[in-house]
Structure 1
Amino acid sequence: MASRQKVGALLATALVASNMVGSGIYLLPATLATVGSITVLGWLIAGGGALLIASVLARLGRIAPRPGGPSTYAGEAFGPYVGFQSSMLYWVQCWVGNIAIAVAATGYLATFIKPLAEPLPGALGTTAIIWVLVLLNIIGPRLVCQFKSFAIVVGLIPILAVATVGWLFFDADTFTASWNVRGEPALPLVSESLVLVFWAFLGLESASVAAAVVENPRSIALATMSGVLIATLVYLASCTVIMGLIPAEELAKSTAPFADAVRVVLGSVAGGLVALMALTKALGTLAGWILLTAQIGKAGADRGHFPAILAKVDRHGTPVANLLLMGVLMTVVVFATVSPTLGEQFGKLIEVSVVLCLLVYTYACASVWHYDQPETPPAARLRERLLAAAAMLFAILMIALSGTQMLLITAALVLVTIPLYALARRRAAALPA
């Protein structure tokens, strides 16, 4: 890339922050309200862990840029099976995360269509949103990209407004009263919140993309750390404000926390406008992620990891069968996770998505040893290894803290990859040389 087309550290930081701050947080305050405002401690810990992982991935992106991201590093470092497993888990994590975004969109749509807050109508609404956007991706991927670009700008307004202006209306008594709604010991509660909170940091691997566009490679780490830190501060500020505006019991039932927070201080019209902005952002994000997830599936099929049908494209280059299969899988999971509230369903989905992604992050961090450079001074090499070890430890602890049910789900998915890998190898061997 020509020097004049590259960006400096400031723009790289903005790239990292804007890639992270988005619709992932829109329904999260309602889910966290079931634990209490003590979850602010979880934000601080998760933010620190995100900084660790992001810095390791940024270094990998600088010394060994790969289009496949974390799963590619795992395959190169630990062999084809781990690469296959990582690709499969990363793909599943993506479309499960897409469902969570769709649930968040349904929550904000429920501001205008009240029955959607109920379990069955909500599931039908979420399914409708998914299929409209799947079909939109089939008909016009270019339109999806244009809509997503518009939605990014619109969707940041509610988050930034609550994180800044919201402090003028913050009620310390409301925040304190919601500190520990269960009355349980602090450590288990904070541990429980970590997996939920980390949902907002998924996608931090996109920070490594900056390696290809930053003018000075030495600025990569600074841009990565600064971008993740900005995202952490925005998340922490906005969630803290909301918990100081709405009592935890009421917040836990909310389908549109940011809209409800604005409604408390500025009235129904302003709240409705914020709900519309958040809905726009969620739909734009989901449309873009459906497109990206289909491309991840296609890349996996191109490498022989997934069935060949997922790599087939129409005359416009759109992986239609891939998108349709994803739509079916997402629909099944929507109804399998129906819960009394949208916030509870959202919590189930993001737990699965986070744990699977953390496993892929663990493999990627462990691959640092594989990419050792002989010319690196011993002290710097030791520092990089310690950083990678700390990031791995954080990710493993997060997975362990996810609970028995999540560990069983993760183990089952990992075990399923074994026969699937054998099937993929057999299929590849049967192909003509």
Structure 2
Amino acid sequence: MGNIIGGGIFLLPASVAPFGTVSLVAFGILTLGAIALALVFGRLAHRLPQTGGPYVYARAAFGDFAGFLAAWSYWITAWVSNAALAVAAVGYLDVLVPLHGSTAATIAAALLIQWLPALANLAGTRYVGAVQIVATVLKFVPLILVAVGGLFFFDSANLGPFHASGGSALGAVSASAAILLFSYLGVESAAVSAGEVRDPRRNVGRATVLGTLGAAAVYLLGTLAVFGTVAHDRLVDSTAPFSDAVDAMFGGSWGGSAVASMALVSMLGALNGWTLLSAQTPYAAARDGLFPKVFTVRRRGVPTVGVLVTVALASLLTVYNYTAGTQGVFEILVLVTTFTATVPYLLSTAAQIHFLLSGRADRVSRARLARDGVLALAAFGFSLWLVAGAGYAAVYQGVLFLFVGVLVYAVMAARRGRAAGPGSGSGAVSEVEAESGAGIATGSVTGAVTGAGAGVATGGATRAGD
């Protein structure tokens, strides 16, 4: 929940307000799809409880190239999400320290917000876990205050039109759902860190499902309360909708400033967890020779090179978007992550379908097999729908990112081929490796939850997403 409920929710009500209250319908549909994905990831983690999540499942089912695409796409999602979180955090920082629209000051603030969590990660997993616990607790204060308290100040006159964007209502639902998906990113992250968690076959599935359900309840109530307390025309232009909601509820600006402070802590916590996650996926792939070996460098339990590369790329993307004069920086970054996130989601759900149809599923009753099949098909269809809702521009940019990855894979595959010598084959995953997970994390962590597990699955049943 600490990463699912990151910083996105604090800005998303304003991002989808231009679509009207039809976006609440999109939120409901999105929640059902997220729960289906959570159940699928829970089953996959039970089957293959190794660090790497979607990468592990795609590689076990379809071989090295599919595993690489899952890892590459998930890694892109992680650092682009970090850039989007920093943009959202700047909006709340502006409530406390007015930046006066200065591009230089805004960029400096966004970079500072990204590098502070990176420094916490470099200090070691124990610090990651400590920061995550504090941030998770603090973030619930403003969310629950607005989600519950806002219902007592709810005014239907603030809702605005049901369908405000023009065009078809179905198109508005798809478009708003594509933006809202950002709030559910991380539904898979307990699975990503499965190798660092005590009893992953039991705890990862529970963390994934319960964390998603808890986040969904907070999201739906919070978004509804913001819609009902902030006038629609003001909400459309808001950079800190939860602060505006508290100001509307209690009058004055003290409440909004307090919420802005807690929102900033929340986003720093989300960046803290996502920075670790963004380093773990390339670490797992690098262990198998699918990413450059430098990503396997670890210090105090943290893949340090992965952390540094991730924060550097996110910083460059942030600077580019601000200096290019792009309007709606947050929304653009969010839509790119929608596409890149659905690639590992599609591959993971397809892997589950593959396991079920190939007879490699766990030995369970026919009823359980049928239920797992229906859930996997629903999650696959849901992911395809999100790709359609992301729009042409986001898919275009996302495909460019993917094609760069194909070049990286070609280089890595050539290196592995030379190292293995002639006649060694393609190096694809054998069925034995797929079943045992030996190619993912041989001799990996056992015993108590490490700091990484604490950062992603605090209390044995949390997760990591924004």
Q: Same fold (TM over 0.5)?
A: yes
Alignment CA distance shift 1:342-1:143 (3 Å): farther
Alignment CA distance shift 1:400-1:180 (3 Å): closer
Alignment CA distance shift 1:342-1:20 (3 Å): farther
Query: Aligned partners of 2:63 and 2:201: how far apart in 1?
Result: 32
On the 8 A contact 2:89/2:264 being kept in 1, the answer is yes
Query: Aligned partners of 2:206 and 2:116: how far apart in 1?
Result: 40
User: How many positions carry a matched residue from both structures?
Assistant: 414
Q: Deviations over 1:334-366 (max 9, x none)?
A: 122238999921111111112211110111111
Query: Aligned partners of 1:224 and 1:140: how far apart in 2?
Result: 24
Q: Deviations over 1:398-425 (max 9, x none)?
A: 1122111122223222322222111001
Tell me whether 1:300 sits opposite 2:285 in the alignment.
Answer: yes
Residues 344-359 of structure 1 correspond to what in structure 2 (within 5 A)?
344-359=328-343
Tell me whether 1:271 sits opposite 2:266 in the alignment.
Answer: no
Q: Deviations over 1:262-287 (max 9, x none)?
A: 11122311211111111111112212
How big is the shift at 1:28? 1.0
Query: Aligned partners of 2:127 and 2:304: how far apart in 1?
Result: 16
Q: Which amino acid aligns with 1:356?
A: T
Q: Deviations over 1:348-405 (max 9, x none)?
A: 1111112211110111111114433374344432332222112101101211221111
Residue 181 of structure 1: aligned partner:
164
Residue 61 of structure 1: aligned partner:
45
Alignment CA distance shift 1:388-1:311 (3 Å): same
Query: Aligned partners of 2:167 and 2:303: how far apart in 1?
Result: 49
Query: Aligned partners of 2:100 and 2:326: how far apart in 1?
Result: 9
Query: Aligned partners of 2:368 and 2:378: how far apart in 1?
Result: 15
Tell me whether 1:423 sits opposite 2:411 in the alignment.
Answer: yes
Alignment CA distance shift 1:124-1:178 (3 Å): farther
Of residues 373, 376, 382, the one that matches 1:385 is: 373
Residue 129 of structure 1: aligned partner:
113
Residue 276 of structure 2: aligned partner:
291
TM-score of the pair, normalised by structure 2: 0.81
Q: Which amino acid aligns with 1:186?
A: A
TM-score of the pair, normalised by structure 1: 0.87
On the 8 A contact 1:119/1:340 being kept in 2, the answer is no
On the 8 A contact 1:210/1:220 being kept in 2, the answer is yes
Query: Aligned partners of 2:185 and 2:311: how far apart in 1?
Result: 21
Of residues 175, 190, 194, the one that matches 1:192 is: 175
On the 8 A contact 1:119/1:341 being kept in 2, the answer is no
Alignment CA distance shift 1:377-1:104 (3 Å): same
Query: Aligned partners of 1:190 and 1:339: how far apart in 2?
Result: 31
How big is the shift at 1:221? 7.0
Residue 76 of structure 1: aligned partner:
60
Tell me whether 1:29 sits opposite 2:17 in the alignment.
Answer: no
Query: Aligned partners of 1:370 and 1:78: how far apart in 2?
Result: 9
How big is the shift at 1:333? 0.7
How big is the shift at 1:34? 2.5
On the 8 A contact 2:336/2:390 being kept in 1, the answer is no
Residues 88-237 of structure 1 correspond to what in structure 2 (within 5 A)?
88-115=72-99, 117=101, 119-139=103-123, 141-175=125-159, 177-206=160-189, 208=191, 225=209, 227-237=211-221
Most deviating of 259-268 and 77-86:
259-268
Residue 239 of structure 1: aligned partner:
223
On the 8 A contact 1:118/1:340 being kept in 2, the answer is no
Residue 233 of structure 2: aligned partner:
249
Aligned CA RMSD, in angstroms, stands at: 2.9
On the 8 A contact 1:20/1:200 being kept in 2, the answer is yes
Query: Aligned partners of 1:236 and 1:165: how far apart in 2?
Result: 14
How big is the shift at 1:139? 4.3
Tell me whether 1:280 sits opposite 2:253 in the alignment.
Answer: no
Query: Aligned partners of 2:107 and 2:76: how far apart in 1?
Result: 20
Query: Aligned partners of 2:201 and 2:401: how far apart in 1?
Result: 41
Residues 311-390 of structure 1 correspond to what in structure 2 (within 5 A)?
311-313=296-298, 316=300, 318-338=302-322, 344-371=328-355, 372-373=360-361, 375-390=363-378
Q: Which amino acid aligns with 1:289?
A: W
On the 8 A contact 2:45/2:204 being kept in 1, the answer is no
Q: Which amino acid aligns with 2:174?
A: S
How big is the shift at 1:128? 2.4
Query: Aligned partners of 2:167 and 2:37: how far apart in 1?
Result: 30
Alignment CA distance shift 1:190-1:286 (3 Å): same
Stretches of structure 2 lacking an aligned partner (at least 5 in a row)? 422-466
Alignment CA distance shift 1:48-1:117 (3 Å): farther
How big is the shift at 1:222? 7.7
On the 8 A contact 2:45/2:201 being kept in 1, the answer is no
How big is the shift at 1:226? 5.1
Q: Deviations over 1:157-214 (max 9, x none)?
A: 1011111011111110111x24333344322111110111111111111455799768
Stretches of structure 1 lacking an aligned partner (at least 5 in a row)? 1-16
Alignment CA distance shift 1:396-1:327 (3 Å): same
Most deviating of 391-400 and 20-29:
20-29
Most deviating of 188-197 and 240-249:
240-249
Alignment CA distance shift 1:255-1:117 (3 Å): farther
Q: Which amino acid aligns with 1:428?
A: R
Query: Aligned partners of 2:401 and 2:310: how far apart in 1?
Result: 17
On the 8 A contact 1:27/1:104 being kept in 2, the answer is yes
Q: Deviations over 1:43-80 (max 9, x none)?
A: 01101111111111111122332221112100110110
Aligned residue for 2:66, secondary structure, equals helix
How big is the shift at 1:143? 3.0
Query: Aligned partners of 1:54 and 1:393: how far apart in 2?
Result: 14
On the 8 A contact 1:23/1:155 being kept in 2, the answer is no
Query: Aligned partners of 2:242 and 2:154: how far apart in 1?
Result: 14
Aligned residue for 1:115, secondary structure, equals coil
Alignment CA distance shift 1:321-1:223 (3 Å): closer
Q: Deviations over 1:301-359 (max 9, x none)?
A: 22212222222345x45544433322321122112223899992111111111221111
